[in-house]
Amino acid sequence: MSENKVWFITGTSSGFGRALAEEVLAKGERVVATARKPEVLRDLTQKYPDTVRAVKLDVTNLEDVKNAISEAVKEFGRIDVLVNNAGYALAGAIEEATDEQIRQQFDTNLFGVLNVTREALPVLRQQKSGHIVNISSVVGFSAMGSLGIYSASKFALEGVSEALAAEVAPLGIKTTLVEPGPFYTGGVERAVFADNLLPEAYPLTAQLPNAFKDFNTTAGDPVKAVKIIIEAVESANTPFRLPLGLPAYEAIEAKLEQVKQEISVWRERAIDTNFDVAANA
């Protein structure tokens, strides 16, 4: 059997998923490239017929998930790197999003990751090896107004990833949480806007389309980003948390400083919470 890794990547029709699949295949490694419409991956399967398998996968569909993991093991015998990349952004203030939109956001960005990871874990445990890469976002660490539901879904993913890393490390399985800043992946074009827009109350939402246009002129190169992800996976000193791009580092560093300052103000008062000792005790 080839020593080249087997990568299972969700959401490979575009963005980071597509760039990562192309880069991994160019290195001679094997890829299970998943998408809701696998026919969009035909060019990859034609170019790399022996090392890529295009598999239908809607991460919110449990039957799809089971079939995709089973197909990966059937075709290549193992999964070395699981990349949970599938996701999208819901734009709008908290009040502007509908119940259905909020649930759909979490179904994809959080429960979709859980569906795929939980199905893959028995394979990784049996191998006593593997690497789980969860694609979060800088807004999963430092939330933005009018991207609150999207931020919340990524905050939840970060909590799951931290716990997962602690749980699976003793089993020989590594975990990396990727936190990209703005990259030109087409994600802003695929963003879904809340249905109940209230522009007078939440002008920031109304400004997002123009902000997204500016974003596309300043965003980073996803090819460079995925090369760093591959380098991190191959590193002997694998990082758990991997921000990508200067804006991500600046936002995370600013949030850490803000939190440190905020909690210090009330520290002395707030830590004094033990029961009072009776004077005559």
pLDDT for residue 6? 98
| Mean pLDDT, residues 213-231 taken together | 85
Catalytic annotation, pick one of 48, 154, 161, 174: 154
Which CATH fold topology does 6-247 show? Rossmann fold (3.40.50)
Q: Which listed residue (136, 142, 151, 161) is catalytic?
A: 136
| Mean pLDDT for all residues in the chain | 94
pLDDT at residue number 110: 98
118, 169 contact by CB (below 8 A) = no
- What distance in Å separates the CA atoms of residue 10 and residue 224, rounded to the nearest whole number? 19
* Rounded average pLDDT over 55-81: 98
What is the tens place of the pLDDT at every residue in 82-103?
999 999 999 999 999 999 999 9
Mean pLDDT of 229-256: 96
Residue 108 gets which letter from DSSP? I
Cα–Cα distance for residue pair 225/250, rounded to 1 Å: 17
The tokens for 190 are 């695929």
pTM comes to 0.94
Q: Is residue 137 within 8 Å of 16, Cβ to Cβ?
A: no
Is residue 184 within a helix (H) or strand (E), and if so which, with residue range?
A: none
Q: 187: pLDDT confidence band, cut at 50, 70 and 90?
A: low
Residue bearing the bigger pLDDT, 1 or 256 = 256
Residues near 143 by beta carbon (within 8 Å), at least 6 away in sequence: 151, 152, 155
Q: What is the pLDDT of residue 2?
A: 44
> Per DSSP, what are the bridge partners of residue 55?
34
The mean pLDDT of 132-154, rounded to a whole number, is 97
Residue 213: active-site member:
no
The C-alpha atoms of residue 139 and residue 179 are separated, in whole angstroms, by 8
| DSSP 3-state of 210 | helix
Q: Would you state the pLDDT for residue 1?
A: 36
Asked if 238 and 231 touch (Cβ cutoff 8 Å), the reply is no
Model confidence at 210, pLDDT cuts 50, 70, 90, reads: confident
State how far the Cα of 79 lies from the Cα of 131, in Å rounded to an integer: 9
- Report the pLDDT value the prediction gives residue 194, as an integer from 0 to 100: 96
Q: Please state the length of the chain.
A: 281
150 is catalytic: yes
Catalytic choice (5, 137, 142, 150): 150
Residue 189: the pLDDT is 74
